[in-house]
Structure 1
Amino acid sequence: MNVDEFDLDYRLLRLFLTIYDEGSVTAAAHRLGVGQPTVSHGLDRLRQIIGDPLFVRSGRSVAPTAHADEIAPQIRALLQGMRDLTRVVTFDPDDPSHSAHFTIGCNDYEVSVVLPALMQRLQSCKADIRLKVLSISGEDHFVGLLRSGKIDHAISIQSAGKHADIAMQALFREQMRCFYDPGFHDAAPDTLDRYCAADHARVIIGANDVSAIDDLLRATGRSRRTALQVSTFASIPNLIRGTKVIATLPSRLAENVMDGFATCDFPLEFPEYGFAQYWHVRNAANAAHKWLRAEIFRIARGLG
């Protein structure tokens, strides 16, 4: 019979350790819940593969050979490693011996609205949890980063795109508001005429020079003059404070980035839109990643 080391499997290695620990083929069969002929056949198979008797008779028991004594610790460690492969590692944020390093892809809107509460939560944990944040420029960009493993997680506008390997969870809804410096406006830009007559700042992320607001105005036969275009929300307040320039931005920025500015409704019907978190399916069962997703979801639900 032709045999080689690749004929070894979990059952044969487990059978070896059971005989080794019990010192008896009969006791090993009882412990494994099989018949003695099955254990004897497996032992014969092991002897052929390893090229050593492994166990010899010693009265009513069997005694390990010198080679069996030598390989027993290796087999024990190997079996434990095989068992570990079938277990999802746990993560306890309050255990100082645990650690997790996360890379999240998002833009400065999410940095302002979601991440402050997340950082407070991470800092309250006893585990060594570290966060790295990378900017993303749209769905195609963050999907590629998730697939490559350059980011573990993404928070962005909810997309209708479906990717078999990318999981998504809706977080919260958002709407647009007009922001302006009240010291430089006699009246709020809350009518279409006043809105279109004003100078505007807009945020365009990435290379795409398209604005849903401009598209909506165009559909009604109107337009606006863009006096300022930037790539981040955080740059808007310093640039329009003390001017007549207005900005149409997500409403939740009123609580952070745009604090101190007056606001009014956008004068056209602009549909609410959602934000979601995304992750690659390879991280779906990872305990630390599951904990992070649950924390982000909890924070998002607290936004109302």
Structure 2
Amino acid sequence: MSKSNAGAPALLDAKLLRLFEVLYSTRSVTRAAEELGQSQPTVSIWLGKLRHDLHDPLFVRTPTGMQPTPRADALIQTVREALEALRRLSSWQPEFVPGTTRDRFRIAMTDASHITLLPQLLAHLRAAAPLARFEAAKIEADIGDLLQSGAVHMAIGLIPELESGFYQQALFDQDWVCVANARHPRLGDGLTIERYRAEAHIGIVSGTGHALLESALDRHGVDRRVVMELPGFLGMAAIVGTTDLIATLPRQSGEMLARINGLTVFPCPVPIPSFTVKQHWHARYHHDAASRWLRGVCVDLFQTRTIPGGGGIRRDE
């Protein structure tokens, strides 16, 4: 048998193992060629290599066919076990059963998604995977590293900085609305651009959405009078509901907070570009069964439409 550079025996070709098995069963080169879909000369060449590699004639021609040598008799069980292992490997499919898994799933999302998406998502996940554990994480600056390492399974939001090596899938579009106290003293008949400029505002000063909003306001020459800034959505609805401050935020978050807290929703009088909320994951986990299931749940729950290239396209493709 030939030797590799490291001195270990070279591995036998799978087609030679298959020939060994078929020839042992049929005792005929002609029938082996038919079963393998090869010509007799090809099978003869393969048999010659098999004999060379195993240092034995293996099969000897007799009046009753190609009879195995004692070495072939000794090796047939090992050959069959090797072929069975290769068959199992070729047909292996990752198994994931949500109902019995005890996996821990970590999903990164904005605090706005904690309000709008997390309750529905958690209710579904607990019903489908009652033994699993779920964790909501922040979208931090190192989110790419966390997705690559598997510390975070998926990130949901507007995360344009995720580029090479990441997949993304569109879930839903977001435009912008304004929310105000239902008893606001000056907005009884609507929110005009003039009133938007004149009123005091509460601002959320974190996240990609904030940067998108500020850029649009600057472009249209709208200088809001922000008297209260918050790092996130926690507490915003309570402040709006007890003051005359106006908040400008993505529609889904605004409508959800208004519904829960009795606020009034107005169309935003400033044209702010809409954006698409997507789920993101690293290419390492694209075929992981548990991750695929989790992504499928989010699609079933939240996807309203797709965008060109939104169906799991890597940003570097």
TM-score, with structure 1 as normaliser: 0.74
What is the identity, as a one-letter code, of the residue corresponding to 1:245? Answer: L
| Cα contact 1:114–1:299 (8 A) shared by 2 | no
Q: Distance in 2 between matches of 1:129 and 1:37?
A: 58
Residue 37 (structure 2) pairs with residue 33 (structure 1): yes
Q: CA RMSD in A?
A: 3.9
Provide closer, same or farther for how the CA distance between residues 106 and 74 of structure 1 changes in structure 2, counting only shifts above 3 A.
same
Distance apart, 1:33 and its partner CA: 2.0
- 1:134 corresponds in structure 2 to 137
- 2:237 corresponds in structure 1 to 237
Provide closer, same or farther for how the CA distance between residues 257 and 20 of structure 1 changes in structure 2, counting only shifts above 3 A.
farther
Q: Which of 35, 46, 50 is matched with 1:46 structurally?
A: 50
Q: Which of 39, 60, 64 is matched with 2:65 structurally?
A: 60
Distance apart, 1:219 and its partner CA: 4.4
- 2:82 corresponds in structure 1 to 75
- 2:115 corresponds in structure 1 to 112
Residue 19 (structure 2) pairs with residue 15 (structure 1): yes
| Cα contact 2:17–2:79 (8 A) shared by 1 | no
Paired residues, what number? Answer: 295
Distance apart, 1:136 and its partner CA: 0.9
- 1:200 corresponds in structure 2 to 201
What is the identity, as a one-letter code, of the residue corresponding to 1:187? Answer: R
Q: Which runs of 5+ in 2 are unaligned?
A: 306-317
Q: Which of 265, 278, 281 is matched with 1:279 structurally?
A: 281
SS at match of 2:278: strand
Provide closer, same or farther for how the CA distance between residues 15 and 243 of structure 1 changes in structure 2, counting only shifts above 3 A.
same
Q: Distance in 2 between matches of 1:97 and 1:55?
A: 50
Distance apart, 1:250 and its partner CA: 1.5
Distance apart, 1:61 and its partner CA: 4.9
Provide closer, same or farther for how the CA distance between residues 168 and 129 of structure 1 changes in structure 2, counting only shifts above 3 A.
same
Provide closer, same or farther for how the CA distance between residues 97 and 20 of structure 1 changes in structure 2, counting only shifts above 3 A.
farther
What is the identity, as a one-letter code, of the residue corresponding to 2:170? Answer: A
Q: Which runs of 5+ in 1 are unaligned?
A: none
| Cα contact 2:2–2:10 (8 A) shared by 1 | no
| Cα contact 1:99–1:129 (8 A) shared by 2 | yes
Provide closer, same or farther for how the CA distance between residues 180 and 77 of structure 1 changes in structure 2, counting only shifts above 3 A.
same
Identity within the alignment, %? 28
| 1:225-250 deviations in Å (ceiling 9; x for gaps) | 43333332234224544233332221
Provide closer, same or farther for how the CA distance between residues 7 and 298 of structure 1 changes in structure 2, counting only shifts above 3 A.
closer
What is the identity, as a one-letter code, of the residue corresponding to 2:82? Answer: I
What is the identity, as a one-letter code, of the residue corresponding to 2:18? Answer: R
